[in-house]
Amino acid sequence: MQKRDHFRRLQQKQYTSGAYRNPYFKDQKKKPTKKLILVGAGSLFVCLLLIFFYSYQGFALKHVSITGLQPSARQEFEKQTNEYLSRSHFLFFHNTNRFLFSDKELEKNLSTLFSFEAMHVRLSHDTVIIELKERASQFVWKTGTDSFLVDLSGTLIQKVDLSQAPQAFIQPSKNIPLPMFVDRNNTTVAVGDHVLSAPEIQNIFSFVKLVSDQGISVKEVQIDQLAGKWRGILTRQGYTILFDPSTDVAAQSDKLKTLLQNTVKDTSHLNYIDLRFGDHVYYK
C-alpha cells in the first residue's frame, strides 16, 4: 500500500486555492490611482472655491465711512484705513475682501496712532463703517521733537505736527491755543500712554488760571518727572514759577501775589520763584 504524502497534498491544495506564492517573485502592489484622483480633484475644488470667494467683486469692500471724527484728523485716519485695506494676502488677494477683512486687526492698527474713548468697526454691504467717540483734547504734550494731544485723564490721544496742522492746537469753544506742557526729560512716549494723573492736571490748570488772573502771561508748563515735585510755569516775561500741584495751589498763588506786590516789583531780571516749601518763598 502506497504511503500518503501529506506535505504534497497540502502544497497542491494551496496551489489550487491560489494561496501559493513563489518566494522569488514579489507581487506588484496596485497603486491607489482612484484615491489620488479624488484627493487631487478635492484639493483643486477647494482652491477654485477660495479663489472665487477672495476675488469675486460681490464680496469687495469699496467704501469707508467714518463718523465722530474731527475734520483735522480725518485725512490721516482715512490714509491709515486705506493702507490696511490694501495689504495683500497670498500675494494676489487683499483685505478689501470681506472674508479677509478683520475688524479687530483694523482697530488695533488705528489704536497705535489714535486713542479714542470708543471705537467700533463693522461692515455694511460694500462699506467699512468706523464709529468713533473722540477724547477731548485739553493740552499739548511736547517731548523732544514730538508733540501729542492729551485729554484730562493724561492719555496721549494723537501725535501731531504744529507746522502741518495748527488747527489741531486750537480750543474750538474758545478759539485760543491749547496750553503747552513740556517734558524737560524728553521721555519717549506713544499714543495711548498716560503722562500725568487726572488730579494733577486739574490742579495745574487751576494754578495757571490763578496766575493768569494776576496778570501774568503764561507761555508753557514745564514738567520734570525725574526731579521729584518739579513743576513749573514759564512766563512770557522769561522767569519760571515753581509750584507743587499736590498741595494747596490757591495758597501758593497768594504767596506769589504777596511776593510780587511787596518784595519783587521789577521782574525784568527775575530768574525763578519757588513756592514749593510751605511758608517759605525763594526767588532769584
Q: For the chain, what is the domain count?
A: 2
| pLDDT tens-place string over residues 127-154 | 888 888 878 888 999 999 999 999 999 9
Last residue of a domain, one of 85, 109, 134: 134
Angle at 143 between CA 135 and CA 246, to 5 degrees: 70
Rounded to two decimals, the pTM is 0.69
* Residue 66, domain CATH: 3.10.20.310
Last residue of a domain, one of 134, 160, 191: 134
How far is the C-alpha of 58 from the C-alpha of 64, rounded, in Å? 16
Q: Cell for 72?
A: 483735522
| pLDDT tens-place string over residues 181-200 | 999 999 999 999 999 999 99
User: Would you state the pLDDT for residue 168?
Assistant: 55
How far is the C-alpha of 234 from the C-alpha of 88, rounded, in Å? 50
Q: What's the domain range around 242?
A: 139-283
User: Would you state the pLDDT for residue 7?
Assistant: 63
> Which amino acid does the sequence have at 262?
N
Does any domain span residue 23?
A: no
> Which amino acid does the sequence have at 253?
S
Last residue of a domain, one of 134, 150, 176: 134
Angle at 17 between CA 16 and CA 20, to 5 degrees: 80
* Residue 211, domain CATH: 3.40.50.11690
Does any domain span residue 48?
A: no
pLDDT < 50: residue spans in the chain: 1
How far is the C-alpha of 135 from the C-alpha of 118, rounded, in Å? 9
